[in-house]
């Protein structure tokens, strides 16, 4: 334990993460408008057991207690998201809801009072439903300036205290699961729409960053970036074609969103394979996008093998986690010996290190934050305790690989565990528990799991190191 903590520099940022719709509840309290997730949950069959985020963890009313949980763990940063329709019920500045602004002011102030730095995600998939109804959501570029307006409202309202902004969480998921596979809101199935939605999401990010850089960053001195998700893709064999397949899979997954931001355009393999279905950026848009992230936010959960797809194999993974796999010509699989979480995601800690190294190399060693990493298990509360050994082991191993990546030269600056609390796991409802704290969804009661206590021990080693360091 001591040695693991010691492998990170004193300024390394440790945090936990959540998102608004997954924990807040209070879905129609104090003037909040509905989001596409409120609507999506109401269609039978979309979410397991008909679960909704109506109450969730009731963080809206219990946030002070939740900040205390972080204090007990010793984390120094809290990544949460703002619900767009809580502050702007119809999505536009015409509908400003002061009660929504007040809530986030209370939350931010409470974090700061306890020396916890807020890391604020502006958009974590919960588009105001009014914008879906009026414009067709992310399929319309009319949403782009509206997102920039909403982001500017956040900078205006909270930027005096919030210095770390994430424009979008995982646009890949919003595009692929929301518009490609139809398993997330707004529930569309298409092989064209994901590329359109992704394009508009990227432009929305770029415009929000421009607003920040021109109007706020000079006086507020914060940083702004985007969080993308990616699994690692390991070549199934050493053959050139499998190595190529793994590369293509990574470019379709992460390059889709990171290449325009770091390199100025979509990856070449995407332009070649997707053809006319892939929108093009104008030169002006390319200039706006390039360099539009002060840091590289990464959410990482699992690893799969990639191989060249042959005529007789369908190419789709068992988990459907390959994105628009028909455009990639890649066949995905897992090693049956890899342990799995209750999401059926393989636990492959070295995949995390390899991905960090791949990013570092491709994008010229940017400052990197893991903004989510974690796992779901079928936890049980027994006699007031949750002994989640598998989760503790998961964190120990993944954090160990983060330390290895650091030692190999990756510019990793922080790590946020997903998640502070068990919460509404999207289409899986409350059936999957990702929390460091167990939540009884009947009573709302929180119980620290053994993994939260393990983290507290890790972080106390960290802070004693700092004291020693500063005395020296
Ligand atoms: C991420 C997402 C989170 C959380 C997590 C676990 O993709 O940002 O909201 O649900 O996965 O599935």
Q: Is 358 helix (H, G, I), strand (E, B) or coil?
A: helix
* CA dihedral over 166, 169, 175, 179, signed as positive or negative: negative
Report the alpha-carbon angle 70-86-51, nearest 5: 75
126 Cβ inside 6 Å of ligand 1: no
Which pLDDT value is given to residue 278? 97
426 Cβ inside 6 Å of ligand 1: yes
**Once rounded to an integer, what is the mean pLDDT over residues 116-137?**
98
pLDDT in tens, 92-120: 999 999 999 999 999 999 999 999 999 99
Mutate to test the pocket of ligand 1, among 372, 391, 424, 434 (most ligand atoms within 8 A of CB): 372
- For residues 465 and 365, the model is more confident at 365
Q: How far apart are CA 311 and CA 387, in angstroms?
A: 47
Q: How far apart are CA 155 and CA 223, in angstroms?
A: 11
Which pLDDT value is given to residue 29? 98
229 Cβ inside 6 Å of ligand 1: yes
Which pLDDT value is given to residue 310? 81
How far is residue 343 from each of residues 19, 209, 265, 321, 427, measured CA to CA in Å? 19, 34, 33, 12, 12
Q: Are 400 and 415 contacting, i.e. CB atoms less than 8 angstroms apart?
A: no
Which among 301, 397, 408, 323 has a CA at the least distance from the CA of 365? 408
pLDDT exceeds cutoff 50 at 298: yes
Which pLDDT value is given to residue 313? 67
372 Cβ inside 6 Å of ligand 1: yes
Q: Which residues form the catalytic set?
A: 170, 372
Which among 26, 10, 11 has a CA at the least distance from the CA of 63? 26
Which among 439, 436, 329, 470 has a CA at the least distance from the CA of 16? 436
* Span from the CA of 418 to the centroid of ligand 1 (angstroms): 8
Q: How far apart are CA 285 and CA 141, in angstroms?
A: 13
pLDDT band at 220 (very low <50, low <70, confident <90, very high): very high
pLDDT band at 472 (very low <50, low <70, confident <90, very high): very low
* CA dihedral over 119, 121, 122, 126, signed as positive or negative: negative
R_g over Cα of the chain: 21
Counting residues of the chain whose pLDDT is more than 70, the rounded percentage is 96
pLDDT band at 323 (very low <50, low <70, confident <90, very high): low
pLDDT exceeds cutoff 90 at 25: yes
* Span from the CA of 240 to the centroid of ligand 1 (angstroms): 33
413 Cβ inside 6 Å of ligand 1: no
* Span from the CA of 405 to the centroid of ligand 1 (angstroms): 23
pLDDT exceeds cutoff 50 at 319: no
Task: Give the atom of ligand 1 at the shortest distance from the alpha carbon of 229.
Answer: 7
DSSP state of 215: I
Task: Give the atom of ligand 1 at the shortest distance from the alpha carbon of 425.
Answer: 10
Q: How far apart are CA 300 and CA 103, in angstroms?
A: 30
Which residue bears the tokens 């409470």?
110
* Span from the CA of 464 to the centroid of ligand 1 (angstroms): 32
Residue ranges of domains in the chain, CATH in brackets: 2-231+255-293+343-471 (3.20.20.80)
> Considering the chain, what is the average pLDDT of its residues?
96
Residue nearest to atom 9 of ligand 1 (CA): 19
Task: Give the atom of ligand 1 at the shortest distance from the alpha carbon of 19.
Answer: 9
pLDDT in tens, 378-422: 999 999 999 999 999 999 999 999 999 999 999 999 999 999 999
pLDDT band at 325 (very low <50, low <70, confident <90, very high): confident
**Once rounded to an integer, what is the mean pLDDT over residues 327-346?**
96
Residue nearest to atom 12 of ligand 1 (CA): 425
């Amino acid at each position: 334990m001591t040695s693991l903590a010691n492998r990170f520099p004193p300024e390394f940022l440790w945090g936990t993460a959540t998102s608004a719709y997954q924990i807040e509840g209070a879905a129609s309290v104090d003037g909040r408008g509905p989001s596409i997730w409120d609507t999506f949950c109401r269609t039978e069959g979309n979410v397991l057991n008909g679960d909704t985020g109506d109450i969730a963890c009731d963080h809206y009313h219990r946030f002070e207690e939740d900040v205390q949980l972080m204090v007990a763990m010793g984390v120094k940063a809290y990544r949460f998201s703002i619900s767009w329709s809580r502050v702007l019920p119809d999505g536009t500045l015409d509908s400003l809801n002061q009660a929504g602004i007040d809530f986030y002011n209370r939350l931010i102030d409470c974090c700061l009072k306890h020396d916890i730095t807020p890391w604020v995600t502006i958009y974590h998939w919960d588009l105001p439903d009014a914008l879906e109804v009026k414009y067709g959501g992310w399929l319309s570029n009319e949403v782009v300036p509206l997102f920039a307006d909403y982001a500017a409202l956040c900078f205006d309202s909270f930027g005096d205290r919030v210095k770390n902004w994430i424009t979008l969480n995982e646009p890949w998921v919003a595009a692929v699961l929301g518009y490609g596979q139809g398993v997330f809101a707004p529930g569309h199935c298409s092989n064209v729409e994901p590329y359109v939605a992704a394009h508009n999401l990227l432009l929305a990010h770029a415009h929000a960053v421009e607003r920040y850089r021109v109007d706020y960053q000079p006086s507020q001195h914060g940083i702004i970036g985007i969080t993308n998700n990616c699994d690692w893709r390991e070549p199934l064999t050493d053959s050139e074609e499998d190595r190529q397949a793994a590369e293509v899979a990574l470019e379709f997954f992460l390059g889709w969103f990171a290449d325009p931001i770091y390199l100025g355009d979509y990856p070449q393999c995407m332009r070649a394979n997707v053809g006319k279905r892939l929108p093009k950026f104008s030169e002006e848009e390319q200039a706006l996008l390039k360099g539009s992230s002060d840091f590289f936010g990464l959410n990482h959960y699992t690893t799969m093998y990639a191989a060249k797809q042959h005529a007789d194999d369908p190419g789709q993974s068992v988990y459907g986690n390959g994105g628009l796999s028909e455009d990639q010509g890649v066949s995905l699989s897992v090693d049956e010996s890899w342990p799995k979480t209750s999401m059926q995601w393989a636990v492959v800690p070295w995949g995390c290190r390899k991905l960090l190294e791949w990013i570092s190399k491709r994008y010229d060693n940017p400052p990197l934050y893991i903004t989510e990493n974690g796992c779901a298990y079928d936890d049980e509360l027994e006699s007031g305790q949750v002994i989640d050994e598998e989760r503790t082991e998961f964190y120990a191993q993944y954090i160990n690989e983060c330390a290895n990546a650091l030692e190999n030269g990756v510019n990793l600056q922080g790590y946020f565990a997903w998640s502070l609390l068990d919460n509404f796991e999207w289409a899986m409802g409350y059936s999957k528990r990702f929390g460091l704290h167990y939540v009884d969804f009947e009573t709302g009661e929180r119980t620290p799991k053994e993994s939260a206590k393990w983290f507290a021990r890790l972080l106390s080693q960290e802070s004693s190191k700092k004291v020693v360091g500063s005395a020296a």
